[in-house]
Amino acid sequence: PAVPKHSVPAPRSLHVRAARVLEGNWTGTSTVPSHGLYPHQWSWDSAFIAIGLRHLSPLRAQTELETLLSGQWEDGRIPHIVFNPSVPLDAYFPSPDFWRSSTAGHAAGAPRTVQTSGIVQPPVHALAAWLVHCADPGLSRARGFLAQVYPRLAAWHRYLLHRRDLGAGSLASVVHPWEQGMDNSPCWDAPLSRITPAPARSFRRADLDHGAPEDRPTDLDYGRYVRLATDYRDAGYADGTSDFAVEDPAFNALLIASEHALARIAQELGATGTARHARAERLTAALIERLWDPAEEMFFCRDVRGGELIRERSVSGLVPLLLPGLPQKITDALVRTLGGAHFGLGDSTRLVPSYDLLGEAFDPHRYWRGPAWFNTSWLVERGLRTHGEQERADALRQAVLDTAGTTDFAEYVDPYTGEACGATGFSWTAALTLDLLH
Ligand code: 9WN
């Protein structure tokens, strides 16, 4: 049949639009979270990005993780940023001349040629490597992908489980809010209040060139972030002396999920994964013992320096739902908390808010103090599915897809209205959309 002359083009499918975002943010060897705000390679972003990229190009997904691992330090840490040397220094703060990885990180074995930060981010990488492998096992085997990344991922977990067991309770601690990935979560307010901020005039925030100040962390937060990072750097990035040390439920749950993935990788490579699965189960028990609150029906952060649980309700405390080995009493309680008044899922919200809707510090637009983020909703969706909550998982999946589409793949959204905040064309939003479409 003849095509009508002035036919209206069909709206581009969500799949095609998500692929375009990732294409635009690809640099040739890795993907930036967003060109304006975050023009380098970020650690947990790359893991989520690889999980989506595997549906477009398993080779690009493998390359994404390999590039990140080229920034790994000899002590096993995977830095939270691997810097792109062709990006001007003033495009992002803190820049390589702040971290001085190759000199200040010398004793910890920072790479000589690649510039990186000296802190870490949540360990989503082994999980991502396993999922990337599964997307095209033939290509993965032909390239020796898992054989190459396995020892590096094992060293990464070793670093976290040994050097970062600052609370001596078998869990890993974060020593900076940027490490946990939810920079200005109200969970950090109490432990951060003990930190003397660096003077405002000693640094210049590049983020405010791109983001609305009311959607970003405050200057006071930044002063404290800078103080903590400076002290860590000046101690040669040695672990154990930080004034800020927190055991976080999401960070540790992701470590456990990745330990299970590492067991599967070991099996694929012909070894036995039994010891790793057993370790993951022991860590799950430690997570429950140290961070679960049966009365409040959620996980909380533990302030290792103060010795107390931090009773702020953050999405971080729901992320352990991801773990297959949780007792049903706990998964049932987490599902109740998700749908209850503090998070409102399926009632007043369609995506999971980053923080307690009823909390004193709640702010629907300010970064990790209320807005809903796509990576955490993806993790909770996976958790709901793992524990047989198909209907809730389906609704959350649909909400992620709808909101990603209407906001042009926003960085985060108002949890009540779904209005876009922060950057648009954000890589992990596009990547995880693709993953949920498959
Ligand atoms: C600091 C890149 C990163 C994410 C974090 C998010 C934000 C950086 C910043 O952006 O943090 O690492 O400059 O605010 O909080 O989760 O990985 O997308």
Pairs from 112-115 (Cβ < 8 Å, separation ≥ 24): 114/70, 114/71, 114/82, 114/83, 115/82, 115/83, 115/85
Looking at residue 10, its pLDDT comes to 56
Q: Which residues make Cβ contacts (< 8 Å) with residue 347, sequence separation at least 6?
A: 339
- Is the pLDDT at 371 greater than 80? The verdict is yes
Looking at residue 12, its pLDDT comes to 76
Evaluate the CA torsion angle 166, 167, 172, 175 in order and state its sign: negative
Q: What's the mean per-residue pLDDT of the chain?
A: 96
Q: Report CA(201)–ligand 1 centroid distance (Å).
A: 22
Per-residue pLDDT reduced to its tens digit, 384-404:
999 999 999 999 999 999 999
- Give, in degrees to the nearest 5, the angle at Cα 187 between 76 and 368: 85
Tell me whether 0.95 is exceeded by the ipTM. Answer: yes
* Whole-angstrom distance, CA of residue 320 vs CA of residue 15: 29
DSSP at 197: P
Q: Does residue 347 have an active-site annotation?
A: no
178 lines ligand 1 (CB under 6 A): yes
Of 35, 37, 42, the one to substitute when testing ligand 1's pocket (max ligand atoms within 8 A of C-beta) is: 42
Looking at residue 176, its pLDDT comes to 98
Q: Report CA(178)–ligand 1 centroid distance (Å).
A: 7
Say what percent of the chain tops pLDDT 90: 95
Per-residue pLDDT reduced to its tens digit, 37-73:
999 999 999 999 999 999 999 999 999 999 999 999 9
207 lines ligand 1 (CB under 6 A): yes
Which helix (H) or strand (E) covers residue 177, if one does?
helix 177-180
* Whole-angstrom distance, CA of residue 408 vs CA of residue 63: 26
For residues 291-302, give the mean pLDDT: 98
- Is the pLDDT at 75 greater than 80? The verdict is yes
Per-residue pLDDT reduced to its tens digit, 181-240:
999 999 999 999 999 999 989 999 999 998 889 989 999 999 999 999 999 999 999 999
- Is the pLDDT at 265 greater than 90? The verdict is yes
Q: Does residue 411 have an active-site annotation?
A: yes
Per-residue pLDDT reduced to its tens digit, 172-197:
999 999 999 999 999 999 999 999 99
Looking at residue 211, its pLDDT comes to 84
pTM value > 0.95: yes
Burial tier of 216 (Cβ tally within 10 Å: 0-12, 13-18, 19+) = buried
Token digits of residue 291: 């961070």
3 pLDDT band (50/70/90 cuts)? very low
Which entry of 64, 66, 136, 183 is annotated as an active-site residue? 183
For residues 315-320, give the mean pLDDT: 98
Looking at residue 9, its pLDDT comes to 54
1 pLDDT band (50/70/90 cuts)? very low
**Contact 415/353 with Cβ under 8 angstroms?**
yes
45 lines ligand 1 (CB under 6 A): yes
Q: Report CA(182)–ligand 1 centroid distance (Å).
A: 8
Q: Which residues pair with 349 in a beta bridge?
A: 345
26 Rama class: left (phi>0) / alpha (psi -120 to 50) / beta? beta
8 pLDDT band (50/70/90 cuts)? low
Which helix (H) or strand (E) covers residue 293, if one does?
strand 292-293
Of 98, 176, 178, 209, the one to substitute when testing ligand 1's pocket (max ligand atoms within 8 A of C-beta) is: 178
- Which strands make up the sheet holding 372-373, listed edge to edge? 372-373, 412-413, 420-421
For residues 338-348, give the mean pLDDT: 98
* Listed residue (417, 346, 421) closest to 377, CA to CA: 346
Q: Which residues make Cβ contacts (< 8 Å) with residue 144, sequence separation at least 6?
A: none
**Contact 421/412 with Cβ under 8 angstroms?**
yes
